[in-house]
Structures are given as structure tokens and as C-alpha cells.
Structure 1
């Protein structure tokens, strides 16, 4: 069980993490959570749940003994880091950033001597089904690794990768929900075309995606093997699979991940030449 966790920024994703930590009993009580925000409604919502809500960041830094999560926009990270360094923080809590595009190098330069971790979560965090990638800073410890796994594991799955691969994580799981939403919409459209009502088609499509995903995660089998288990010779499923192949389904999906990864690198300031030669994109 964690001791206490602080959140600088109390928006929807931070709120989901707070709730998840309590739901998974990773923290003993709401009083183990402190948070800050510039938007009063966010503080009011947090206070109603029993969390310690403050209008300034210093109180969060002083309260959090295990971790401080930076759940703010990238453009104010520098200001937030100054607040952390100026706070009377004697707990030496690990600093975990979910600010998109802010590198470990930038964080460590702004937080000298502090242990930092960078995380790329995704929006299903809001429903407890996140797929997050994280990278440890140079001073982070094995204990810090377990802390970030516990925090983000409370709302889904958290896997460690090298920082240079966080852009690929962005391409797969960061942007991935949008691809899946499009697929669910298209699957629903197909159901409507075949005669189902929109409501029924959408529910069936969404549950089908959810169920198939759980089969991959729970069985540990390669998706191709699971696909083969559904496709009987000359049957309905192989006819549908053939139609997907004819439409370039797989190639389009791979291209989407590649495009999103490339765009993430561009936003991070990586040159076109490096993207082509170092990342082969």
C-alpha cells in the first residue's frame, strides 16, 4: 500500500487516478490524496470526495510522501517545476509526469536532484481501462518503478519502455482509442446495413471489441491464433476477413500507428531526417 500521493492538476485524468487508487485499495483513505488546481470546480469536486484540495502547489508537495503526479498541460510544466523546487518538501517523493511531449531530460533539468518518471497514459483511464507506457529517469529506483506500476495499474495496464519508444506508445495506445472508436462505428454501420437498429448494432459492436480484447489479454494467445479459432473453412467469418483484407484493413491500421508515431516525434522537435533514419518512419 502506498503512503500518500499528490496531484498537481485535478482534471478528469487525475480524478480517475485518484478514484482508482482508492478503488484498488492502494491508498488507505481519501485523506491520503492531496491535489491542486487553478480551476475551483475541480477543487470542489475533489473536496467532496474527501481529498485534500488546495489552490496552490506547495501544500501538495509538502503532503505527498510517495509520489507527486504532474497532470498539467505541457506549457506550464516549467512553472510547476519551479513551485516544486521552492516548496518545503522533505519527503523526496518521486515526480511522475503525464504532460505530453515533456522529456525526461527537460524534467530532470527543471527538477535537479529529483527522481522523475514520464508516463504516456490514454483516455480509457477515465473508465479504469488505461494502457499506459512509462520510462524511468536516470535517478529513479526499482521502488519507483513499482510505485508507478501501482498507480497506473489502478486504472488499467502500465508497461515500461525506453523513453525513445514513448512516441510509438502514443501511436498505438495514446491515439489507439480513436482508431477503435472508428472501428466500432463502422462495425455498427455494418449491422445497420444488415438490418439491425442503431442502438442494438452499437451495443453489439462495442461489446464484441471489449470481449475480443479480454480474450487476448486473458489467454495470452497471439491474436492470429484467436482469429483462426473463429474462422471455420468456407464459413461466414473467413468471408468477412477476406473483405477486410481486400479493403486494406491491416495496412491502413499499420499506417495509422506509423503516422501518429511520426507526428508525435515531430511535435517533440525531432527532425524529419532523424525520423526517417533513426526511427525508420
Structure 2
């Protein structure tokens, strides 16, 4: 079968997304070639039935993949992407999942004919619950946009932005966001233990409560603010707790500061 997709890098995120594409049937393993210098990571792709190579030079000379997905760390983006310059004639669309790396970087490396899609996924993509946000440069065709969106949907929800400048805010909210939630679970667990609950019970209550509340918010037709109000009886226990969290907009202000710090750091990394 013709190579439709080349995956450059098969680390945790690349492998998670690849697994989702194959399990969903959106791609046949034989249509994928994984380029990964690490033999152990390369073997994972082989176990899924994909072709593999240690470097881009091993890609067949007559191959014209629909997509080249760049799934490596930002520090090595230039060196890795340069190896695929021969696909920069406009027939192949490049998809990057590297944080903080603007599409202009790829255009500079690949030339001014390369269609480039920039994607910010997050770690829940590993279980099909991710949030993927994409920006496409003007050279990306409508068909390529649909193909990319269809592939990414195997890993969770997909949203599109037309202003690449917003990608730093996306990174700060959904890219880094899972870490905020993980820390909230940690903090709620500590609070539960200090309230007298055994450690294992505290952790279960914290984790399941966050999971259940997020699931309810996602499935409900009600706005999260309304769901909060439905749980909050006047002068009750929930109201007492929310008085601490919402007094002087404490939690909102804290999260706003956190998101802004992440956004500014994303801008710095992209320079």
C-alpha cells in the first residue's frame, strides 16, 4: 500500500496518537511509516504493524505521503524537519505537534510551497479524551484540513483557530491544563487527608469527584455555573467552601494568573 502518512518521532504523544488512528480504523498500519532513531520506540510502531525507519533517508525515493507528522521536541525541530525538505513541493501537508514552534519556522525550513498545520494536543489524547487545536497556513487544502481533523478526532475533540497568535493561549489553557487538574486532585487529596480520611480513601474521593464532575459538565446541557448553583444549598456546606474559593474571585484570579504565566512562557519559547 502507498505510504499515506510519515510519523517523525514515536515518543509518548506520537505513539498515543498513532495508536488512536489505527484503533479507530482511520489509517491502515501498512499506510504508515514511522521514522524514529530510538530502536525501542521504533519497535513499538512495528508491533502495531507499521513500517519503520531509523532516519528519513530510508523513505522510498518515489514516496509522496499525504501527511508528514512532526512529533518531536521543539529543541530538535529544525534538524528533524530539514530531513523532509524534499516533500516541501506542496503535495505533502506537514503537521506539527511541537509546542511553541510557529508555522513560519516550518515554512523557513521547507520553503514557501509547504502546507503546514500546527496542532496543540494534550496528554488525555492518549486515552481518546484529548483536546486538539489546529491552525493551518493558507496553503493547506480543504481536503487536507478534513483529513487532519478526521485523524485527530480519534484522540478527542478538535477545534480550529484562524489566528495563530492565539496558539499561545491554547497552550496555556488546554496544552498545560491537564497539569492544573492533576495538581487540583493532589491538593484536594491533601485536604481530605487533613480532614481525617485515610490516604487511599482521600485519593479515591478526590480523583473520582473531579472525574465525575467533569463528565457531568461535558454531558449536561446546563452551563457549569448552573450546575454549581444546583449543588449549592443556601448556607450549606458547599456554600461555605465556595465562600473560600470564590471570595474576592480567588480561584478565578489564581487561574487567570497561571494561564497568563504559561502564555507568556509559550511566547518566549517560540522566539
Superposed pair shares fold, TM > 0.5 = yes
1:192–1:198 Cα contact (<8 Å) kept: yes
Q: Which runs of 5+ in 1 are unaligned?
A: 270-281
Unaligned runs of 5+ in 2: none
Following superposition, the deviation at residue 33 of structure 1 comes to 1.9
What does 1:63-74 correspond to in 2, within 5 Å? 65-74=65-74
- Change in Cα spacing, 1:220 to 1:56, as seen in structure 2 (3 Å) is farther
Measured after TM superposition, the shift of residue 92 of structure 1 is 2.3
Which residue number corresponds to residue 250 of structure 1? 252
* Distance change (3 Å), C-alpha of 1:149 and 1:137: same
- Paired position in structure 1 for 2:165: 164
How far off is 1:93 after superposition? 2.7
Moved more, 140-149 or 10-19: 140-149
Map 1:22-33 → 2, pairs under 5 A: 22-27=22-27, 29-33=28-32
SS at match of 1:139: coil
Query: Residue 101 of structure 2 aligns to a residue in which SS?
Result: coil
The total of aligned residue pairs comes to 265
Cα separation, 1, equivalents of 2:263 and 2:128: 24
- Report the TM-score, using the length of structure 2 for normalisation: 0.89
**Distance (Å, rounded) in 1 between the aligned partners of 2:143 and 2:17:** 19
The alpha carbon displacement at 1:171 in A equals 0.9
Q: CA deviation at 1:158?
A: 1.8
Displacement of 1:59 in angstroms is 4.5
Structure 1 position 168, deviation (Å)? 0.2
Stretch of structure 1 that moved more, 191-200 or 37-46 = 191-200
Residues 1:147 and 1:220: Cα distance change in structure 2 (over 3 Å): farther
8 Å contact from structure 1 (residues 33, 64) kept in 2: no
How far 1:222 sits from its partner (Å)? 2.2
Q: How far 1:235 sits from its partner (Å)? A: 1.9
**Which consecutive segments of 4 or more residues in structure 1 shift more than 6 A?**
none
Match of 2:179 in 1: 178
Q: For residue 128 of structure 1, report the CA deviation from its aligned partner.
A: 2.3
Matched, 1:235 2:236: yes
CA distance in 2, matches of 1:63, 1:230: 58
Aligned to 1:192: 193
Shift of 1:60: 4.9
Deviation at 1:80, TM superposition (A): 2.7
How much has 1:36 moved relative to structure 2? 0.7
Conservation of the 8 A alpha-carbon contact between 1:6 and 1:63: no
CA–CA distance in 2 between the matches of 1:35 and 1:136? 23
| Whole-Å separation in 1 of the counterparts to 2:8 and 2:29 | 16
RMSD: 2.2
Mapped pair 1:204 → 2:183: no
Shift of 1:63: 5.1
